Chain A
């Protein structure tokens, strides 16, 4: 049997990928939007639905960013509600370890796992961001070097809590009047650098025992953390070659943790545009890119590279002649910067703009966020299958550009072709997300990387 593709649906987020100006764009808050996307994904036999998280509204030039979708509901609460309108779909939430405590988050996730019949997943992120910390008790400052230490110890602690009830701790023998055996069900003690806690966990062992762990960081520390602790990586490697290199690198790190290559799934986030012909798909892709990059957004994205106020520039005019000021205080808060080497990027962009006679907006459209898969349903199905069969990925997290209908066309037109190729399920064969993903049942507590 050929390698089977994993498919997940990302609820459209709060960056300019999500087009809100289109007449077909619906609410990012109404529960009906979440129900629509979740049911579409389940109709398409997807593995899971993915929610991102925001804990402080983004700012640029010291003001709340107003050009993209702003605001979203609380991740865990939406996932629990979605468990009530779906039966098989995995429910994955991004949840920050910097602004939460293991006891509380572990019980929320274990509760979600019970209430969904074993469909919970957690995308572990950390933040060293004092800006976001202004909304929280701990104030949020965490030294960058401690980010993965906290994340790894957080996950380790959560696993200890999830295992604190033995599988047979609840005997519930009415005749004998014995509910628990033994008396210390849920007892735990964790004494570490980040967390020093002890007591009793409230939630008996959940169907998956360990909800599925996802990880999204791409740094060497992030890769190592994924190799030690995660079940899947939400990666960002869009090209075949990058994907294959990343895939080899990460899978090669597993052995030292006693794990099989198959026990860590690599699922890049990707976008797609379909058309009846290749030309039509390209045309739609360009139209969507123009919607994603409004004149105002073009200036804002340019500011993220130049790191200064460019609000006086004409979106259809030439790029700034001056170089960026990467060493000044970042003008963007609550979000990572677009690029690592702004001076080099700026020079490359200027050269491209001159060569192709592009104004600022057209340049931005040219250099940012091109969709990953563009073409006829046949072409997209083939390309995705090729990606997976040549080990550039184990599957994809699809990021639609429209809420809530952005996945409809994919499910109607591409999924059947993947099924025809024998690389995607036609029915769910398991009930838990671990079963969908072909992951082993809860694995033993990992060794944390030194």
Chain B
């Protein structure tokens, strides 16, 4: 059997991605406030030899509106900090990548860099990071440091909105840039513990990054020695050209949202073009398709589950990503189909947790293994290893003599 290269991730959020998930989940409605909820999900995902799990986060309360709070009382609200969750479950997991989401709009690149580097240290090289932008005026008011005017979610092509999005992504680009330079600001061999000279470090192997930009300046070096992976993988969720460009320039993984195999192929072409435009020299982006999943033993049962969820929420659930409703075997067909169309893998969004994750692990994963598409066991190593990303060269390391 050839070495399977399909990558599978699970996106964790609350009690699942369907707004009515909390009504049907077998778990307590407040379970996401407890550590054992997250360690249980992580253990399940690890049983399925998944590459990584992501943890959603935002600097505002969940909302059914993209531009601010919605005042609803019938859906799950309240959320813990994603980096804290990822760190909390690191000691109880051994193989799976831990990829928290953080905003880069109102936060400090220095803190983000040291937090993800530390997650990499405490997890033995399994940290990833999904930076996102915060575009609502509600989030800006939580910080009170600048005004963001807000936007009409139905008119994203308004010039002011286009300008706002461009600015947010330009700032995000600087933020990821700074985070990455800080990760490199300690060379791997900086700690020398040389008793003869009394020196703990060789200060020539530590580097000021001296970054100056429009939104912030950061001197460096980092306070945290270089993380075990050197550069923990950076993942970006992207729906359109601006974000594809951001991913092509800054990320290792891009989560995309095609509606079908044809669109998947088109997006792959678009992402590859963005890589060329960005002058990308490193390994190509790992392109993972985001897909909501409602799974059951038969197509009818799955349809019924989804209808029940939609009924409870009084509306047919739609999202930024396509939603698959059916059996694990049919989902395996889709996975194979889109994989042939060029995506490297999937980030599955379970409609209800833990139910749909359990089905992914107990039924979808075996079906993919049977088709020779997915690993049977973890090979051991870092998240970068799992994703097939080569060891990154420290940009401060002296070039090896020719």
Contacts and interface: CB of A to CB of B under 8 A. Distances in A.
Q: Which of A111, A170, A294 is packed against the most chain B CB atoms within 10 Å?
A: A111
A81 B123 CA distance: 9
Interface in B96-142: 106-108, 110-111, 114-115, 117-119, 121-122, 124, 138-139, 141-142
A101 B143 contact: yes
A116 B38 CA distance: 13
Contacts of A180: 72-73, 77
A57 B223 contact: yes
Given A197-B142, A198-B141, A83 B114 contact: no
A177 B38 CA distance: 24
A117 B88 CA distance: 12
A97 to B, nearest CB: 13
Contacts of A139: 217
B125 to A, nearest CB: 11
Given A115-B35, A174-B23, A184-B71, A199 B121 contact: no
Contacts of B181: none
Nearest to A65: B203
B85 A115 contact: yes
Contacts of A85: 91
B224 to A, nearest CB: 6
Contact of A74 (B111, B193, B198): B111
B80 A115 contact: yes
A178 interface: yes
B22 interface: yes
Interface centre among B58, B144, B219 (most CB of A within 10 A): B144
Nearest to B138: A199
Contacts of A197: 141-144
B144 A66 contact: no
B88 A80 contact: yes
A104 interface: yes
Contact of B115 (A76, A185, A195): A76
Contacts of B29: 170, 172, 174, 179
Given A174-B29, A179-B22, A203-B79, A64 B118 contact: no
Interface string B28-50: 11100111001100000000000
A230 to B, nearest CB: 23
Contact of B223 (A55, A137, A165, A183): A55
A67 B200 contact: yes
Given A71-B225, A114-B34, A170-B78, A137 B122 contact: no
Interface string B142-174: 111100000000000000000000000000000
A414 interface: no
Interface in A133-154: 134-137, 139
Contact of A177 (B197, B216, B220, B312): B312
B142 A170 contact: no
B278 interface: no
Contacts of A73: 114, 117-118, 121-122, 224
Contacts of A71: 186, 191, 201, 222-225
Interface in B188-205: 191, 193, 195, 197-203
A97 B388 CA distance: 40
Interface string B72-93: 1111111111011101111110
Nearest to A178: B73
A84 B217 CA distance: 35
B122 A81 contact: yes
A143 B217 CA distance: 20
Interface string A18-45: 0011000000011100110000000000
A379 interface: no
B60 interface: yes
Contact of B200 (A68, A80, A200): A68
A172 B107 contact: no
Contact of A81 (B59, B91, B195, B223): B91
Given A74-B117, A74-B118, A180-B77, A83 B35 contact: yes
A440 to B, nearest CB: 23
B110 A55 contact: yes
Contacts of A196: 144
A30 B79 contact: no
A198 B137 CA distance: 11
Contact of B74 (A80, A178, A185): A178
B142 A177 contact: no
Given A83-B88, A100-B111, A31 B122 contact: yes
12 contacts: A31-B91, A64-B221, A67-B200, A70-B206, A78-B87, A80-B85, A99-B111, A111-B81, A135-B220, A172-B29, A186-B78, A203-B78
Smallest CB-CB A-B distances: 10 pairs: A172-B29, A296-B198, A80-B87, A77-B118, A134-B219, A111-B81, A74-B118, A73-B118, A111-B80, A81-B122
Given A104-B107, A114-B80, A198-B141, 11 more contacts: A67-B199, A74-B224, A85-B91, A111-B80, A114-B35, A135-B110, A137-B216, A179-B73, A202-B60, A204-B78, A297-B198
Interface of A: 20-21, 29-31, 34-35, 54-57, 63-64, 66-74, 76-78, 80-81, 83-85, 99-101, 103-104, 107-108, 110-112, 114-117, 134-137, 139, 165, 170, 172, 174, 177-186, 195-204, 294-297
